[in-house]
Homo-oligomer: A and B are copies of this chain.
Amino acid sequence: MNKHALFLAGALVAAVPGFAVEPAPNGITLPEGYRQWKVLSVHHRSDNNTLRAVLGNDVAQKAARDGKTNPWPDGVVLGKLVWKAVKHDRWETAVEPGAFIHAEFMIKDAAKYASTGGWGYARWLGKEQKPYGADANFVQECLNCHIPVKDRDYVFTHPVQLPGDPER
């Protein structure tokens, strides 16, 4: 196969839903198996009316249990799933997830991502998982939003308290 044929084959594969997802413009690929990860927290933002589930891979779950979250250790991946918040049709004072908006991730590798505070950022839009950002500079937008929590290793999420957890 020549280069052109390879490119076409790649494009076809990427077009099959659930089969392949294009990497983000900074080269980060969709973390595998994030749907199997456990919950670290949940949020409701009223400025853009979204509900969020924050998930963490096994390294993140262990770090949260051990209270090692400032800084988070290398190997941590945090995933945030974001939905439009809609009024529940049978409980009028509750909101529930409507349309899926995006999945976004923070990948901790202090050396590899030193230029962006030790975290690699990436986001995929919608159920079609379209990579976010016109080029690799999109990470400046991520960073700008996370600067208010620079002193918490750039992470907004406080892992939830559950039975069996030590008090934090």
A residues in contact (CB < 8 Å) with B: 17-18, 21, 35-39, 41-47, 51-53, 55, 81, 83, 85, 88, 90-91, 93-97, 99-100, 103, 124, 126-129, 148-149, 152, 156-158, 160-165
Please give 5 more A-B residue pairs, beta carbons under 8 A apart, in addition to A43-B96, A46-B93, A81-B160: A42-B51, A43-B88, A45-B93, A53-B53, A81-B162
Contacts of A97 in B (CB 8 A): 41-42, 158, 160-161
A100 touches B51 (CB 8 A): no
Contacts of A43 in B (CB 8 A): 51, 88, 94-96
Copies of the chain in the assembly: 2
Q: List 8 A-B contacts (CB under 8 A).
A: A35-B164, A39-B53, A44-B44, A83-B161, A88-B156, A124-B163, A128-B163, A129-B163
